[in-house]
Amino acid sequence: MDAGRRIPGAMARRILIADDSPVNCIVAQRMLHGLGFSSEMATTGIQALERHRRRPYDLILMDSQMAGTNGFEATTRIRAIQRHGAVPLIACTTASSDEQRNACLRAGMDDVCVKPLKPVQLRNLLLLWLPVHTVEEASRRDALTRAELLSLASLFGAGFEDVVLTFRNDTEARLLTLRQAAAGSDMLQLRKVAHALAGSCASIAGWRMAGLCRVLELKCQAGQRAGLTRLLAEISKAYCSFNLQIDHVLRCQQLSQAAEHSSPTRY
């Protein structure tokens, strides 16, 4: 059970937790350990910067309000030494206000999570922001998605096909709306549709799509137009690969229903 929660390829990743509260650091470290990661801590922004400069990390969880060099400043300086997007920087904030979130994104952070951290939330963040390194890792991640889809399929029973059909119709319409809104720079519409799409994806275990849509929503909210096209392309790509997993699960369900139907014990 515990091994199932581990993220494939976690052992090969280095994560930095930058937070001036040792308690917060230890909590985050424990959670990361549970997911299979080893992590290091930094208690100031300057320390985080130095460590990352010496040996780059795969991902940094950054408290936005540290004493001394705060998270925003450290982010700006990390971004200055590296091309944007090189290391995923995730802001951890206590305030869930829109202004805080916007400030984090504008400072150059990629995503925002609200403290207290929750294992499921952290897990989805890591799956979203740590790119797969190997084919094996990718297929193990797909297997995790299929396992979740299978449990949903058993909840819905024969109705699962209907759910999939509805999901596909809704998603395709929404993806089209997103592209049109992006072309017309309609940030309000983009944000609204991204929010709706994130919700329906999360409902049926499309975590990657849900995460990307959430990032799109955050970006629109912060008024960041840069990288929107790439993000939309990523969402479409995630939809295609999620669809493949859905197909797989649908086939499994049909096969098991057929087997049940033709089972000799029935007669």
Q: Which residues bind another protein (CB under 8 A)?
A: 96, 114, 116, 118, 155-156, 159, 162-163, 166-167, 170, 195-196, 198-200, 202-204
CB of 18 to another protein, least distance (A): 23
| Cβ closest to another protein, residue 80 vs residue 165 | 165
Question: Least distance (Å) from another protein to the CB of residue 76?
Answer: 27
- Give 39 or 124: the residue with its C-beta nearer to another protein: 124
Q: Given the complex with another protein, which of 49 and 91 has the nearer CB atom? A: 91
Query: Which residue, 13 or 174, has its beta carbon nearer to another protein?
Result: 174
Rounded Cα gap, residues 56 and 135, in angstroms: 23
Q: How far is the CB of 160 from another protein (least distance, A)?
A: 9
Give the residue carrying structure tokens 């072309």.
Answer: 183
Q: How far is CA 128 from CA 53, 110, 235, in A?
A: 24, 11, 12
The β-bridge partners of 111 are: 90
Is residue 131 within 8 A of residue 59, CB to CB? The reply is: no
CA distance 185 to 194: 14
Which CB atom, from 68 or from 199, has the smaller least distance to another protein? Answer: 199
- The residue behind tokens 């299978």 is 150
Side chain identity, residue 30: R
In whole angstroms, how close is the CB of 203 to another protein at the nearest point?
5
The nearest distance, CB 235 to another protein, in angstroms, is: 16
The encoded tokens of residue 110 equal 């990629």
